[in-house]
Chain A
C-alpha cells in the first residue's frame, strides 16, 4: 500500500514537469493550473503516507537487467520512517504553498514552463531523497536537488548576479557532495551493499579509520548543503532566486537535506571520536556568526538567508549534543515559520520593487495582512512563547544543556538573544517607522498569496502540538536512534518547568529590548563597530572564496599558454614525454 503512494510523491511531480514543459509557454494559465494541481496531489499523497510510517524497507525494482553481470546499481528501495515522511510532507505541502504563491508572484513572467517544471522536479527529487533506503539513490536525488536549485537561482539568466549566484551555489554544494560520494562509496565497497538500514545495523563492520572517514565526509557534505561554516557563502547569494523558490528550496527543504543526512546516520557516527564535538563546533560557529551577519544586513532576503543559516546551525548543534529529536522538531517548526517569512517578504518585495530595507519603512499601514503574518513568523523565529519556534528552540537548548559542553550552551543562548534582536529589527525597518519614499504605491497581498500565507501562519501557532505524535512515530520507525517517545503534554510540561527555558526567555526579552532602546545605547554600538564591520564582510569567508577562484583562474590562464600553436613545440612535448616515461618505466622494471 505504501509503495504506490511513495512513488506518487516522486513521479507525479516529475510527470507534471514534463506536462508543463510540453504545453509550452503559450498558455500560462494552464501552466499555473497544472502546477498547482500536480503539487497539491503530491502533497495529498505524502499526507496519505502518514498512517503507514514504519521502519520496513520496501524495494520497488532492481536496476539489474542481466543476472549474469553482478550489478553495481542495487535496487531502488524506500524506507518510510518518521524523519523521511516528515521531510516529504514538508517538501510537498510547502511546495504546494510556494506554487500557489507563485501564481500571483510570477504573473506575467516569461519562461514559466521552465520555472514550474524545475520546481516540480525538485519536489519529486526531495521526496525521493527523504524516503530512499539506498545510498546510491540518496546521492542521486541529492544531486538532482542541487541541479534544480542552480537552475532556479539563475532563473533570470540575463542578470549576471543571478547566474553567478546559481553557479556558486552549485559548485559549493557539489564540493560538499564529494564528501557524500566518498562516504557512500566506501560503505558500498566495504560492506557490499548500498542499503542504509543495513549500514546502520553493521556500522561496526567498518574499520575505525574508515568509519571516521565516512563520518567526517558526511559532515562536510551536510555542512555544504545546509550552508554551514565554512560553506555558508552560497546561501546569501542564492537570494537572487524568485522568492517562492527561496522559500521552498533555501528555507524549508533543500537546506534541510544536510540536517537529514546527519540525523539519519547519527547512530553510526555517534561513536566516532571527535565527531560529535566537530558537529557541535560547526553548528555553534554557524549559528552565532550567521546571527551576527543577519543583524547588520540591509537586504531583507539576506537577513532571512542568514537567519536560515543560523537556525540550521541550531539544528546541527542539537544533533551534535545528542538531541536528535530536538533537531527534528526544530526542523519542522523552522520549515513552517521560515517559509512563512520568506513568502511574506516576497509579497513585500513584489509590491515595493526593492529588497533593501532602508527603502521600505512604514509598510504596516498599507499592507496590514502581510504585516500581521510576517510578525507571526518573526515572533516564532525569535522564540516567543506559544508559537512553534519557542517550543522547538527550547528543546534544542535543553538538550544542549544536558548533553553538550557548557561553553557551547552559553554561545547558543547568546545567539538566541541576537536572533530576537534581528527579528525585531527586520519587522521594525520594514513595517514601522517612516516610509522612505512617501509617494510610492503599494498594495496588500491578493488572493493567491493569502491562500498560501494563511495556512503557514496557522501552522506557526499550532505545529508544536504535533510533538507527541512525531516523537511516537520516530521512536517506532527509527530503531537505531533511540528516541524517547512522549506525548505533547509531557513535552510541554517538561519545557515549561525547565529553568533553561526561563533563562532563554529573559535573554530573548533582552534582545528585543536592546533593539527597541537602540537610540539610547549608542555607546554600545560604537564599541561594537569592529564587530559590525566584520559581520558585514562575512567574517572573511567571502575573501577566502574569491581567493580560491582567483588561484584557479590564474592556473588556467597559465596552462592555456602551453597551447602555443607551434608545431615544433608540440613535437617537442611529444619527444619530451617519450623520454621521461621511458626513464620512469625502465628504471622501475
Chain B
C-alpha cells in the first residue's frame, strides 16, 4: 500500500532520535578516554534537513491531489492543510532551535538527551497533525507531553527547574486522564474511534457534551486556557531558551490543533466556537494584566504567550461558530506568526542568558533591568528582541499586525454582535500589551548599563543565524502577508469543511 510522502517524516525523526542519543553516549565514553569529539548535535540537523526535502515533496503532491486519506491498519490517517501547517511550524522552528542549541547547550551534562528528546518531540508532533483517529490522537499527544516533560526539567541541578517540571507533569497528566475519560464516553456512545465516523453519528446528547467538555478541559491544560494555565509561566521560564521557544511557539498550538480536530467532529453537540472564543477573551485579559507586573523577561514572554493563545482561540472560535473560513485562516496565520515572533523573542532573550552564563557561570533568571544598555555591545540580539516584541504588540510593519487584522476582520464578517464586541475587546487588549512590551525595548536602548560594562564576547554564528532569519521573516510577513496564504487557506479549509454538520 502506498503511503503519502508526508508520512515518512515521522519515522525519519523518530528513528533518528535514539540514534543521536547513541552517538552521544559513545562520544562521552570516548571523552573519558581522552578523545573529545562532538558530533551528536550536528548529527541532529541531518534528519531535519532530510525532513525538509520530504516536506517539499509533500507540498507538491498536496497541490496536485489535495488532501489524502488512508488507513494504516485500523487507524485512519489524513494529510490535509492542517497537517501541512503543523509540519511547517514544527520543522521551521525545530530546525532553527536545534541550530541555536548547538553552541547554547554546549557543555551541559546530558546534552545528547536534549537532542534526542527534541527530535522525538518534533517527529511526534508531525504525527499528531495527520491522524484522524481519536485514540491515535491521544497517543501522539501523550508522547509529545512525555518528551516535553524531560526537556522542561532539563537543568536538573536547579531546584526551580525541577519544580516547574513536576508541576507541569502532574497537571498535564491530569489533563490526559480527562481526555481518556472523554474518549471512553465517545466510544460508549458512538461505538467508533474514527473521527470521520464520529462526526457522522454525533448527536447533541448530554453524554457527548460531557465528553466534549472533558476534551476541552483535558487538552485545555496543554493549550494553557485560563484557569488551567498555571504550569505555563514556570515551565516556559525555567526551560532552556530553545525549549521555551518550542513550547510557546509550537507545543501549545499543537494541543489546540488536537482539540480542534476533535471538537469539529463533535460540532453539532454544543456551540464550541462560542466557548473557545470566551476562553480566548479570558486568556487575553489575564495574560496581559499579569504580564504588566513581571520583572523577569522570560516570565513576561510566557504570560504574553497566554494572551496570544487568546487571539488564536478567538479566530478559531469565530470560524467554528459561523462556518466562515477567514477566522480559521487568520488564526492559522497567527499560529505561524506567533511561532516566529515568540520564538525570536525567547531565542534573543536566551542570547543574554548565554552571555551572562559565559561571564559568571551562573544561570540566574534574566531580569528586565539586566537588559539595560545591552544594545550598544550586542546590536543584533537587541534589535531582534525589539522586533519580536513590537511585532507581538501588533505594530506594523511587523508580522503580528497582519494576522491580528485577519482575525478581527473575521469577527466582523460573522455579523454577530458578540463577535464584534470581542474584536473590540481584543484590539483594546492589544493596546494594553504595548504597555509591557515597550519598556523592554526602551531598556535595551539605554545608554547607561545597569551593571558595569564587561568585555564583549563573540556570539557564535549558529546563534545569530536563527535570530537573523526569524527577524527577516517578521518584517517580510508584515509587509507581504499574502505570502503564507498557500499554507493558511488550505488549513482553514480543512478545518471548516471538516466541521460536522
A and B touch in the complex (CB under 8 A): yes
- List A residues at the B interface (Cβ < 8 Å): 63-66, 68-69, 71-73, 110-111, 114, 136, 139-141, 143-144, 146-147, 150-151, 154, 157-158, 163, 166-167, 170-171, 174-175, 177-178, 181-182, 185-186, 188-190, 552-553, 555-557, 559-560, 562-563, 567, 569-571, 573-574, 576-578, 581-582, 585-586, 588-589
A174 to B434, CA, bound (A): 9
Say whether, besides A181-B427, A182-B427, A556 and B439 are in contact (CB < 8 Å).
no
Contact of A157 among B206, B290, B443 (CB under 8 A): B443
A-side interface mostly: helix
Contact A63 B481 (CB under 8 A): yes
Q: How many Å from the CB of B245 to the closest CB on chain A?
A: 22
Report B372-402 CB contacts with A as 1/0, cut-off 8 Å: 0000000000000000001000011100011
- List B residues at the A interface (Cβ < 8 Å): 166-167, 170-171, 174-175, 178, 204-206, 209-210, 212-214, 216-217, 220-221, 225, 227-228, 230-231, 233, 269-271, 275, 286, 289-290, 292-293, 326, 329-330, 390, 395-397, 401-402, 405-406, 408-409, 411-413, 415, 420, 423-424, 427-428, 430-432, 434-435, 438-439, 441-443, 445-448, 480-483, 485-486, 488-489
Say whether, besides A140-B397, A167-B435, A171-B431, A588 and B489 are in contact (CB < 8 Å).
no
A143 to B445, CA, bound (A): 21
Contact A174 B447 (CB under 8 A): no
A573 to B413, CA, bound (A): 35
Closest A residue to B233 by beta carbon equals A563
Contact B482 A71 (CB under 8 A): yes
| A151 neighbours in B (Cβ, 8 Å) | 441
B-side interface mostly: helix
A560 to B289, CA, bound (A): 8
| B431 neighbours in A (Cβ, 8 Å) | 171, 174-175, 177-178
Q: How many Å from the CB of A559 to the closest CB on chain B?
A: 5
| A553 neighbours in B (Cβ, 8 Å) | 292-293
A581 to B275, CA, bound (A): 9
| B482 neighbours in A (Cβ, 8 Å) | 63-66, 71, 73
| A186 neighbours in B (Cβ, 8 Å) | 412, 420
Contact B217 A166 (CB under 8 A): no
| A114 neighbours in B (Cβ, 8 Å) | 445
Closest 3 CB pairs of A and B: A69-B489, A189-B412, A570-B230
Contact B428 A175 (CB under 8 A): yes
A175 to B435, CA, bound (A): 12
Contact A171 B434 (CB under 8 A): yes
| A578 neighbours in B (Cβ, 8 Å) | 178, 213-214, 217
Contact B409 A72 (CB under 8 A): yes
Closest A residue to B444 by beta carbon equals A157
Say whether, besides A175-B428, A560-B290, A170 and B233 are in contact (CB < 8 Å).
no
Say whether, besides A182-B424, A188-B409, A577-B227, A144 and B445 are in contact (CB < 8 Å).
no
| B213 neighbours in A (Cβ, 8 Å) | 578, 581-582, 585-586
Contact A557 B221 (CB under 8 A): no
Contact A574 B292 (CB under 8 A): no
Contact of B442 among A157, A552, A581 (CB under 8 A): A157
| B228 neighbours in A (Cβ, 8 Å) | 573-574, 577
Q: How many Å from the CB of A449 to the closest CB on chain B?
A: 25
Q: List 30 A-B contacts (CB under 8 A).
A: A66-B486, A68-B489, A69-B488, A136-B405, A147-B395, A147-B396, A150-B438, A157-B443, A157-B447, A163-B439, A167-B435, A171-B435, A178-B424, A185-B412, A186-B412, A188-B409, A189-B415, A553-B293, A556-B293, A557-B293, A562-B230, A567-B170, A569-B230, A571-B171, A574-B175, A576-B227, A578-B214, A581-B216, A581-B217, A588-B271
A222 to B204, CA, bound (A): 49
| B406 neighbours in A (Cβ, 8 Å) | 72
A416 to B354, CA, bound (A): 61
A570 to B234, CA, bound (A): 12
| A555 neighbours in B (Cβ, 8 Å) | 289
Contact of B439 among A143, A167, A576 (CB under 8 A): A167
Q: How many Å from the CB of A487 to the closest CB on chain B?
A: 42
A40 to B204, CA, bound (A): 68
Closest A residue to B427 by beta carbon equals A178
Contact A178 B171 (CB under 8 A): no
A64 to B483, CA, bound (A): 8
Contact B270 A589 (CB under 8 A): yes
A110 to B375, CA, bound (A): 13
**Quick one: which of A73, A167, A185, A576 has the most chain B CB within 10 A?**
A185
| A175 neighbours in B (Cβ, 8 Å) | 428, 431
A147 to B437, CA, bound (A): 12
Contact A167 B438 (CB under 8 A): yes
Say whether, besides A188-B412, A189-B412, A589 and B206 are in contact (CB < 8 Å).
yes
Contact A552 B227 (CB under 8 A): no
| B413 neighbours in A (Cβ, 8 Å) | 189
Contact of A577 among B212, B217, B480 (CB under 8 A): B217
Contact A570 B167 (CB under 8 A): yes
| B231 neighbours in A (Cβ, 8 Å) | 570
A111 to B447, CA, bound (A): 9
Contact A585 B212 (CB under 8 A): yes
A589 to B210, CA, bound (A): 10
Contact B409 A185 (CB under 8 A): yes
Contact of B171 among A72, A188, A570 (CB under 8 A): A570
Contact B434 A66 (CB under 8 A): no
A182 to B421, CA, bound (A): 10
Contact of A144 among B397, B435, B488 (CB under 8 A): B397
| A589 neighbours in B (Cβ, 8 Å) | 204-206, 209, 269-270
| B292 neighbours in A (Cβ, 8 Å) | 552-553, 556
Contact A178 B289 (CB under 8 A): no
Contact of A185 among B214, B227, B408, B489 (CB under 8 A): B408
Contact B233 A64 (CB under 8 A): no
A139 to B406, CA, bound (A): 13
A19 to B78, CA, bound (A): 49
| A68 neighbours in B (Cβ, 8 Å) | 489
Say whether, besides A68-B489, A140-B397, A552 and B432 are in contact (CB < 8 Å).
yes
A186 to B427, CA, bound (A): 14
Can you add 18 more A-B contacts, CB < 8 Å, to A181-B408, A182-B423? Answer: A63-B481, A69-B329, A69-B488, A73-B402, A143-B395, A154-B442, A181-B427, A182-B427, A185-B412, A189-B409, A559-B289, A567-B170, A573-B228, A574-B174, A574-B175, A578-B214, A585-B270, A589-B270
Contact A585 B209 (CB under 8 A): yes
| B171 neighbours in A (Cβ, 8 Å) | 567, 570-571, 574
| A177 neighbours in B (Cβ, 8 Å) | 431
A181 to B396, CA, bound (A): 13
Say whether, besides A73-B481, A552-B289, A570-B167, A586 and B442 are in contact (CB < 8 Å).
no
Q: How many Å from the CB of A506 to the closest CB on chain B?
A: 46
A66 to B220, CA, bound (A): 34
Say whether, besides A185-B423, A559-B286, A562-B227, A65 and B485 are in contact (CB < 8 Å).
yes
Q: How many Å from the CB of A25 to the closest CB on chain B?
A: 9
| A576 neighbours in B (Cβ, 8 Å) | 227
Contact B293 A157 (CB under 8 A): no
Q: How many Å from the CB of A566 to the closest CB on chain B?
A: 9
Say whether, besides A63-B481, A143-B396, A157 and B489 are in contact (CB < 8 Å).
no
Contact A166 B486 (CB under 8 A): no
A582 to B438, CA, bound (A): 40
A158 to B442, CA, bound (A): 8
Q: How many Å from the CB of B434 to the closest CB on chain A?
A: 6
A141 to B485, CA, bound (A): 22
Say whether, besides A175-B428, A552-B292, A170 and B434 are in contact (CB < 8 Å).
yes
A571 to B231, CA, bound (A): 10
